[in-house]
Amino acid sequence: MEQEVIVEQKEIVEQEDFVVQMRGISKVYPNGIAANKDVDFLLRRGEIHAIMGENGAGKSTLMKILFGLEQPTSGEILINGQSVAITSPNKAISLGIGMVHQHFMLVPSLTVAENIVLGMAPTTKSRFLIDFKKAVQIAEENAARYNLRIDPNAKVIDIPVGMKQKVEILKALVRGAKILILDEPTAVLTTQETSELFKELIALKEQGFTIIFISHKLKEIKQITDRLTIMRGGRSMGVYNTADISEKEISRLMVGRDVVLKVVKDKSQPTETVLKVRDLEYTNRWNKKMLDKVSFSVRKGEILGIAGVEGNGQRELVEMLFNLNTPDAGTVTVCGESIVNLSQDKIRNRGVSLVPEDRMTYGIADIASIEENVISDRFGNKRFNKGPLFNMREIHHESQNLIVDYRILAKSPKQQVKMLSGGNIQKVVVARELSSMPTLLIADQPTRGIDVGATEFIRNEIVELSRGGTAVLLVSADLNEVIELSDSLIVMYGGKIVGYFEDSSQLDDLTMGEYMLGLKHQTEEEIAKVSYE
C-alpha cells in the first residue's frame, strides 16, 4: 500500500507544475516529540488541497514549517522550484505564502481596515501619518476584488466571527499571498458562514490562488478540494484526488480504524441521576450564543459522551459546570444540590472532579513537582496534615501510590512536571482527578495530543471508574474516543444538543458526522430523553 503511494507521487513529480514542494520533512520538538516524520507534501498551482488528519496527526506542524513559524529538523522546501529556507513568517509572506490561523490573529480594538494594513499602513505625503482613507480604500478594493464582504470601519471586537475570518484572508491577500493556508477555517463558523466561505474560496481558486485547507471534516473536504494529503501519526498517508477516493477510504486512512484502541467494557448499568443540567444558556461577550437551552442528565455508572466539532459550546458548558464561568440562565445540580456559583472547593467537595481540556493552563503547575501536583485538590485533608504542618510521610505515600497506580513514568516524585512527556503530564492530572473517587467525573478531551499507550491507559481508567459507580461526562472532539468510550452520547452543534443516542455502540462515523455538522437533528422529544429525573 505505501509503495503504491510513493510510485504515484514520483509520477506526479515528473509531470506537474508544483508551487510548493516539501520533501522529507521531519520535525522533532525539543521535548523529544516527533511531530513530522519524513513527510512529502506537493502542492499544484491553482488547486485547493486538503491536509487531513486527526488532532495531533502533524498537520499544524507541517504548515507552521511552511509558514516559517517552526524550523524543520530535516528536509527540503521548494517554492516555485527554488529551494528556500523559510526562517520567519516574514520570509514566508515575501514568498507569497499567507496563513489564516485557527485562532484569529487580530487586534480587537483596531478597525478592520487597520488590521488589514497593519505593518504596511499607507501614509500621507508627509510619510509620517497614516492615510486612513487610503487604508479603508485598500480594504474595500480588495474586499470587492475577492468578493469578501467586510465593514472596513468597524472595530474587530464588534464584528462576527465569519467576518473576522474574511479579514484574516484579506490580510494575507493584501500582502501578496498566492498560496493561502487555512487552518481549520470552518471550526468556528456557522453553516451559512461555511458555505459562504466555500464560495469565496472557489472564487479565489478561479483567480489563480492556491489554497491549502486543513480540516478533519470529510463533508467539507469532499465538497471543496481537488486533492488531499492524509496525515496520521506524523506521517503522510499519501496524496489522492478527492474525486477518486471514497469517504470511507479517507476515514480509514485518517483515523486508522485498523490500529484503533478498542475499549473493552461491559454494558453500563446506570442507577440514580447525579448531574442534572437544565436549560443552560450563555451568550459570550461577542454576543454569540454559545449555549442554548442545554439540558441533559448523567447517571451513576454510565459514561455520557458529548460529541461535536470544537467551538459548538462544549468548552463553555464545561466552564459552567466547574464555575469557571457563570451561565446567564439555567440550573446545574449534582445529587439534587445546585452547584452554580459555588467555589471550586465546594464543587469538589460535592464529589465533582474535572480533567480539564487545557492541561497546561488548568491541570498542572508546571515547575512544581509531581508530588505537589497530585495533591492540589486534597492537601487540606486531615490525612495530610499534622497540626499546622504537612504530614510529609502521608503525602509521599500518596504520591508514590498514584505514580505507581497510574503508571506515571518519572525519575522521582520530586521531578518537575514540565519535564515529563505530554502523556505522563496528563496521567498526573488524571491520577489526581480520578483517585479522589468522584461522584461525577467531567473528562474534557482526556487524551488529546498524547501517546497511544497513555491514551489507552486513561480510557481504561475512566471505564473502570464508571463501572465502579461514578457518573462520567466525557467531552471529546475525537470521534473515535467519544464513540468507543461512551455508553450514550449527545451531539452538540451551535450551542444546542442536536441528537441523543442511547447506545453509542450502534453509531458510525457517518451518521455522527451528519449530526456534528448540523446536517441532521433530532426532534425535541427525542433529545428530551436525555433529561431524565
Residue 19: CB partners within 8 Å, gap ≥ 6? 43, 44, 45, 79, 80, 178, 179, 210
Q: How far is the CB of 367 from another protein (least distance, A)?
A: 6
Which of residues 171 and 496 has its CB atom nearest to another protein in the complex? 171
Which of residues 67 and 296 has its CB atom nearest to another protein in the complex? 67
Element (H, E) at 405: helix 392-405
Which of residues 263 and 324 has its CB atom nearest to another protein in the complex? 324
Q: How far is the CB of 34 from another protein (least distance, A)?
A: 10
Residue 14: CB partners within 8 Å, gap ≥ 6? none
Does residue 136 contact residue 170 with C-beta atoms inside 8 Å? Answer: no
CB atoms within 10 A of CB 288: 17
Q: How far is the CB of 255 from another protein (least distance, A)?
A: 24
User: Rounded to the nearest 5°, which phi and psi values hold at 506?
Assistant: -85, -5
Does residue 465 contact residue 301 with C-beta atoms inside 8 Å? Answer: no
Which of residues 32 and 336 has its CB atom nearest to another protein in the complex? 32
Q: How far is the CB of 46 from another protein (least distance, A)?
A: 24
What is the side-by-side strand order in the sheet with 82-84?
A: 34-44, 18-28, 74-79, 82-84
Q: How far is the CB of 520 from another protein (least distance, A)?
A: 27
Q: How far is the CB of 454 from another protein (least distance, A)?
A: 10
In whole angstroms, give the CA distance from residue 427 to residue 477. Answer: 19
Q: How far is the CB of 143 from another protein (least distance, A)?
A: 17
Which of residues 121 and 202 has its CB atom nearest to another protein in the complex? 121
In angstroms and rounded to an integer, the radius of gyration of the C-alpha atoms of the chain is 25
Which of residues 196 and 377 has its CB atom nearest to another protein in the complex? 377
Element (H, E) at 212: strand 210-215
CB atoms within 10 A of CB 153: 13
Which of residues 12 and 33 has its CB atom nearest to another protein in the complex? 33
Residue 360: CB partners within 8 Å, gap ≥ 6? 366, 425
